[in-house]
A = this chain, B = another copy of it.
Amino acid sequence: MKITKASHSNIDQVNFDNLSFGTLFSDHMYLCQYKDGQWQEPEIKPFGPLNLTPALHTLHYGQAIFEGQKAYYMKDGSIAVFRPEMNAKRLNHSARRMMMPEFPEEWFVEAIEELVKVDQQWVSQKDGFSLYLRPFMFGSSEFVAARPSEEYIFCIITSPVGPYYAGNVKVKVEETYTRSVSGGVGSTKCAGNYGAAFYPTNEARKEGYTQIIWTDHWNHELVEESGTMNIGFVIDDTFFTPPLSDRILAGITRDSILTLLRDNNILKVEERRIKITEVIQAAEEGRLKEAFGMGTAAVVSPISSIGYRGKDYELATPTDGYAARIKKALNDIRYGEVEDPYGWMYKLNPVHSL
């Protein structure tokens, strides 16, 4: 790996009290090119523009996938990344479905390790802060024909982020638009899934909602995801979440939360198909205790209202409820406030003193 350091850091110009998610980038980026059937020598270099042809394959045919994860400054002074091998595996799941080359998992983890080390001062020590890592891959051949790209670029950029508070999330049950389909790419983090969701989301916003609860493509009966997050419902003493399929993203936050819930006997857990009518009925009967999204950006995003066929069902979002407790439990592991029984935190070792 070739490492070229920036001549000066831009960190002094950053106001850490006023960060907007994903708009400001650290000093360096990681780049690796795939050509002639193999990944070439990777490079860490100053963050900056790429010289790209207007015939760039991905601008036309959308072979583009990404990951999202975070590096944390821990209580013991170390810097760690949350379950990076899970992102490496999921990137490659996305890559296979999008006919893109897999990126070696060891390279992926090493890339993150080296890049975060170079930019370690960007991992803020402030409470609730982290460095958001954005690995992504795209087809970089120069041609416009509907066949897979022959060359690819794998890149990681990073962006400092503060505590994310989504506010009260009002969601609308979507029965017209569809996020994903059986036999499609809904389980991948391909770029197209996100662009396709902006319009339906905006339509929901016009009606006063923050996000959408996506339902299945057959009859819009089954709950799938909420916005760009996995979704779960606390009904009576059980946590319900839709099972993974080729329509649903295998969220790493989702997996971590299910593990915590199961191992600590906090709630019973059922991964099964959930009809939206079940959720609404539970709400009407006062048995729907909480509902929340699960994802990297917000960790847990409590839902305060579910809009279904013109009626809004209000939900409690107690500050000591399940969502809040789960978020704290996960964050305590991430910031090293408690033991890490699962070995989820991948510590960068050695981290040089700041």
Which residues of A does B touch, CB under 8 Å? 21-23, 25, 29, 47, 49-55, 58-64, 66, 96-99, 132, 134, 136, 138-139, 142-148, 155, 157, 159, 176-178, 180-185, 190-200, 202, 217-218, 227-228
Considering only CB atoms, which chain B residue lies closest to A21 in the complex? B145
**Nearest 6 pairs between A and B by C-beta?**
A192-B192, A62-B191, A178-B183, A62-B195, A99-B198, A22-B144
A47-B54, A146-B194, A178-B183 known; A99-B63 Cβ under 8 A = no
Collect the chain B residues with CB atoms within 8 Å of residue A185's CB.
Answer: 192, 196
Closest beta carbon of chain B to A213's beta carbon, Å: 14
Contact A199 B136 (CB under 8 A): no
Collect the chain B residues with CB atoms within 8 Å of residue A178's CB.
Answer: 181-184
Contact B198 A63 (CB under 8 A): yes
Q: How far is the CA of A322 from the CA of B47 in the complex (A)?
A: 57
Collect the chain B residues with CB atoms within 8 Å of residue A138's CB.
Answer: 59
Contact A23 B143 (CB under 8 A): yes
With beta carbons under 8 angstroms apart, the residue of B54, B97, B159 that contacts A144 is B159
With beta carbons under 8 angstroms apart, the residue of B58, B180, B183, B199 that contacts A59 is B58
Contact B59 A191 (CB under 8 A): yes
A22-B145, A192-B191, A198-B147 known; A64-B59 Cβ under 8 A = yes
Contact B157 A190 (CB under 8 A): no
Collect the chain B residues with CB atoms within 8 Å of residue A132's CB.
Answer: 144
A-B contacts, 29 listed (Cβ < 8 Å): A22-B145, A25-B55, A29-B54, A49-B52, A50-B51, A54-B155, A58-B195, A60-B134, A60-B194, A62-B192, A62-B195, A62-B196, A98-B199, A99-B198, A99-B199, A134-B144, A144-B159, A146-B197, A146-B228, A177-B183, A177-B184, A178-B183, A181-B181, A181-B184, A181-B217, A183-B200, A185-B196, A191-B192, A218-B218
Q: How far is the CA of A185 from the CA of B145 in the complex (A)?
A: 20
Q: How far is the CA of A98 from the CA of B180 in the complex (A)?
A: 15
Collect the chain B residues with CB atoms within 8 Å of residue A200's CB.
Answer: 183
16 more CB-based (< 8 A) A-B contacts, given A60-B66, A63-B198, A218-B218: A22-B145, A49-B54, A50-B53, A54-B155, A54-B157, A58-B195, A60-B136, A62-B190, A146-B194, A146-B228, A178-B183, A181-B217, A192-B193, A192-B196, A217-B217, A217-B218
